[in-house]
Amino acid sequence: MNNIKNQFPIFEKESGLTYLDSGATTLKPRSVIEKMMDYYTNYSANIHRGVYGISEQATTAYENAREKVAKFIGVEDPSEIIFTKGTTESINLVARGWGDKKIIEGDEIIVTEMEHHSNLVPWQELAKREGGLIKYIKLGQNHKLDLSELAGSINENTRILAITQVSNVLGAVNQIKQIADVVHDINPEVVIVVDGAQAVAHMPVNVAELGCDFYAFSGHKMYGPTGIGVLWGKKMLLDEMDPVNFGGGMIGEVSKLESTWAPIPDKFEGGTPPIAEAIGLGAAVDFLENFGLENISDQENEVAQYALSQLATIEGLKIFSAGEAGIMAMELSGVHAHDVATILDREGVCVRAGHHCAMPLHQILGAGATFRVSLGIYNTKEDIDKLIVGIKKAKDIFKV
């Protein structure tokens, strides 16, 4: 993976850029940008509507992207891939489309203490609407989940387990297969919804092997465009779900007072979809597969281990990380996370600061705010050296 930065046009303009915020969004490779430009320049027609050449070309490109995404996460039937705006919309679709129909008073929804608000708030709201109960899997040692009480928390009222595959703060990788097995041994009916936003660009994912029912992720965190995401669901569940976005393209028949719905995936893709974005996402899949997810994971892990070893030498730095998936949040004693991030910015180093859309987790960690390093395919040990210099400058400036 030598000279990978050459594939990202942003580095031509910003040669001093040290981008350590891929958990927020990844930079975009030339191949993705060009694929989208090609659509806009050469065949920017609407899909599924025209019988003329460029509309059919656009439809084919859009549906090819769906097939690529399906293959990418080990799904045989591309109609199980629903294009959404992103992970948040995907999870909200399940909460509304499946949850509103199926959850009744007294039903239990299990979440974990490390969830991003996207995989927490939709379930809180569903529970409020339908009279459900939210229960938590707690954080244990080493910034990993404590699974010792998992079996005890599942019962005949459990309907949903909503869990992230990779924490966007701790980088902890949850063993979804192992967790799904425990849950389904006790109650085979539990629907397992996995937030894969921080996983898909960093490790091979096969949803059948994970044993989950729904899997959600975003294009822009996997070198694709913003405005496109994916919800994968088992066909049986998607078929019984209600659509939540009504209008053109998602109907079967419409009469003056009643309508029926198109089969999946169209049922959930009302209105003109993000065509260029879907095509760009297909190119992002090609980009990732060209390197191989195993190779990407190995390289990111090597840089992450180097980062952890270097960060450990800085006095007053508390690191909240399981040391996995290239994600590590931290706190510098006596300096607010936003101040650290601002000083790092002056050094050309981009990190995210705040609660990273995980307020309950930060309360549990006892941290008001943290700054977070999250790696991508382009990061090197030199990037980490610049990070370390920047954190030391922050210490000097604030005299801590």
Q: Rule CB under 6 A: which residues touch ligand ALA?
A: 23-24, 116, 168, 352, 356-357
Measured from the Cβ of residue 249, the count of other Cβ atoms closer than 10 Å reads: 17
The distance of closest approach from Cβ of residue 220 to ligand ALA in the complex, given in angstroms and rounded to an integer, is 9
Nearer to ligand ALA, 222 or 357 (CB): 357
Distance CA 201, CA 229 (A): 13
**C-alpha–C-alpha distance, residues 226 and 245, integer Å:** 20
Q: Which of 93, 197, 357, 384 is catalytic?
A: 357
d(CA 331, CA 336): 8
- Spatial contact of 331 and 169, defined as CB atoms under 8 Å apart: no
Instruction: Please calculate the CA angle 33-230-21 and round it to the nearest 5 degrees.
Output: 55
Pairing state between β 214-218 and 229-233: antiparallel
List the structure tokens of 297: 């994971």
**349-350 vs 18-19, strand pairing mode:** parallel
Q: Cβ 132 to ligand ALA, closest distance in Å?
A: 25
List the alpha helices (DSSP H) in 172-252: 176-186, 207-210, 235-240
Gap between the Cα atoms of 53 and 45, Å rounded: 9
Long-range contacts of 99-103 (CB under 8 A, 24+ apart): 99/123, 99/126, 99/130, 99/160, 100/126, 100/129, 100/130, 100/242, 101/240, 101/241, 101/242, 102/159, 103/127, 103/130, 103/132, 103/159, 103/160
Residue 328's H or E segment, with its range, is strand 327-332
> In a 3-state reduction of DSSP, which class is residue 215?
strand
Looking at the chain, list the stretches that DSSP marks H as alpha helix, in order from N- to C-terminal side: 10-13, 30-42, 53-72, 87-93, 100-102, 121-130, 150-153, 176-186, 207-210, 235-240, 275-291, 293-311, 337-346, 359-365, 381-398
CB 310 within 8 A of CB 328: no
Paired tokens of 102: 């199926």
Q: Residue 373's beta-bridge partner residues?
A: 328
Question: 293-311 vs 275-291: helix axis angle to the nearest 10?
Answer: 80
357 noted as active-site residue: yes
Query: Please, what is the minimum distance in Å from the beta carbon of residue 230 to ligand ALA?
Result: 15
Quote the least distance from Cβ 72 to ligand ALA, whole Å.
20
Nearer to ligand ALA, 7 or 119 (CB): 119
Least distance from C-beta 345 to ligand ALA, angstroms? 16
Which active-site residues does the annotation give?
Answer: 357
